[in-house]
Structure 1
Amino acid sequence: MTDEDWAGWHDAYDVPGSPLERRLQVVRKWIAAALDDGATRVVSLCAGQGRDLLPVLAAHPGRDRVRARLVELDERNVAAARRSAPPGVEVVGGDAALLGAYAGAVPADLVLVCGVFGNVSDADVRRTVGLLPQLCAPGATVVWTRNRREPDLVPRICGWFEDGGFERVEVEGDDGYGVGVHRYAGPPVALEAGERMFTFR
């Protein structure tokens, strides 16, 4: 964990037209699409205040069927997410980088990795992508984000996903942000609870 103000970081979501606000709308669109397709088990890594998932879930007709686990380390963000979480959503205060944080909630149909890849090393991005099948049910959707500043890592991230058994669904964004959507096309993979995916810089 760094000295970043991770609660204040969310303020940019409220600025119309900001890269984070535009990114949020795209992420919500793909969450809604996954729920429309029948996703009922959801996990969110470094979930923050849950601003991507929770409003979409609250408005979705299938919300009562969904079971979700949001994992977040910042206590203020955990408290904010818990205030907004409907029944069926568990907000866990803990280290989202540890695969063991998802025991009992995976394999999931929808995995959210938003706000992670821009805050870890390139090697940890690649490692995380390689371990994500452990969180995924066959056919699961992974929605991830990464800024598009140079050197733009998004094309390489797509390659790592596709080398790891994922199929590209879409990549959206502009110079400010990127949103990737991949579908897991591989077999079930057992959860190695002691493994760490990444360390925040």
Structure 2
Amino acid sequence: MSEWARWHEAYDIPGSALAVRLGIVIRRVAEALDARAPGPVRLVSMCAGQGRDVAGALDGHPRRGDVTGRLVELDAANAAVARDLLAGAALEVVEADAGDSGAYAGAVPADVVLVCGVFGNITDDDIRATIAALPELCAAGARVIWTRHRGAPDATAGIRRWFAEAGFREVAFDAPDDLEIGVGVHELVVPPRPYAGPRRLFSFVRRAPRG
């Protein structure tokens, strides 16, 4: 089992930071689905891991059948779990580098974009560049759900400001007092930009995963 797959074991520990974060993300994804107009909903997940957040949000959701899209995950073991969890859903799981915008060709613009488990593993410059590129991946009024730990140095204030600068309004920011986790939801309020084609958005710099 890869280190990236083992990291997911903490999701199964009740009350752990990852378990709490997962519950928040599931709720926020479900709310994003509820907020879309009737009809198809396209979803994209960067560094999707085992897809537990998407699978959890779709479980029993009345709009499950409306959701199509793509989960991008480089780790083969995690991608295999995601395919099992999402069996029967109209979502593809591709093994690709989520930091390469080419991984999203044909799957964007999306109505719901997940950037979970990414910002804690890349540089601030790459965080800002990724946020600046998100209007290319988003449909009009799309919601982006993102996570970032609040351990020192806490980058979440800067991230929230960069979303505003990129044309998003904040819908929610969850930051439990007893845990160093942060979950943000931002909605695109400026016109989407055309997809600009493949290029490097970010590269992981951490040897051990951190959300």
TM-score normalised by length of structure 2: 0.91
Once structures 1 and 2 are overlaid, which stretch shifts more, 82-91 or 122-131?
A: 82-91
- Please, which of 191, 205, 211 is the counterpart of residue 187 of structure 1? 191
Question: What is the Cα deviation at residue 68 of structure 1?
Answer: 2.0
Task: Output the CA distance in 2 between the equivalents of 1:153 and 1:69.
Answer: 28
Structure 1 unaligned regions, length at least 5: none
RMSD between aligned residues: 1.2
Question: Is 1:17 aligned with 2:19?
Answer: no
Task: Output the CA distance in 2 between the equivalents of 1:196 and 1:171.
Answer: 27
Task: Output the CA distance in 1 between the equivalents of 2:192 and 2:124.
Answer: 26
Kindly report structure 1 stretches of 4+ aligned residues shifted beyond 3 Å: none
Sequence identity percentage: 52
SS state at 2:55 partner? helix
**In the alignment, is the contact (CA less than 8 A) between 2:74 and 2:98 conserved in 1?**
yes
1:31 aligns to what? 29
2:163 aligns to what? 161
SS state at 1:52 partner? helix
Q: After TM superposition, list the pairs within 5 Å mapping 1:43-54 onto structure 2.
A: 43-54=44-55
Structure 2 unaligned regions, length at least 5: 206-211
2:100 aligns to what? 98
1:77 aligns to what? 78
Question: What is the Cα deviation at residue 17 of structure 1?
Answer: 0.8
1:176 aligns to what? 180
SS state at 1:138 partner? strand
SS state at 1:7 partner? helix
TM-score normalised by length of structure 1: 0.95
1:152 aligns to what? 154
Deviations 1:116-136 (A, max 9, x none): 000001111111111111110
Question: What is the Cα deviation at residue 192 of structure 1?
Answer: 1.9
Q: After TM superposition, list the pairs within 5 Å mapping 1:67-146 onto structure 2.
A: 67-85=68-86, 86-146=88-148
SS state at 2:173 partner? strand
Task: Output the CA distance in 2 between the equivalents of 1:7 and 1:107.
Answer: 29
SS state at 1:79 partner? helix
Letter in 1 for 2:185: V
> How many residues end up aligned between the 2 structures?
198
2:209 aligns to what? none
2:208 aligns to what? none
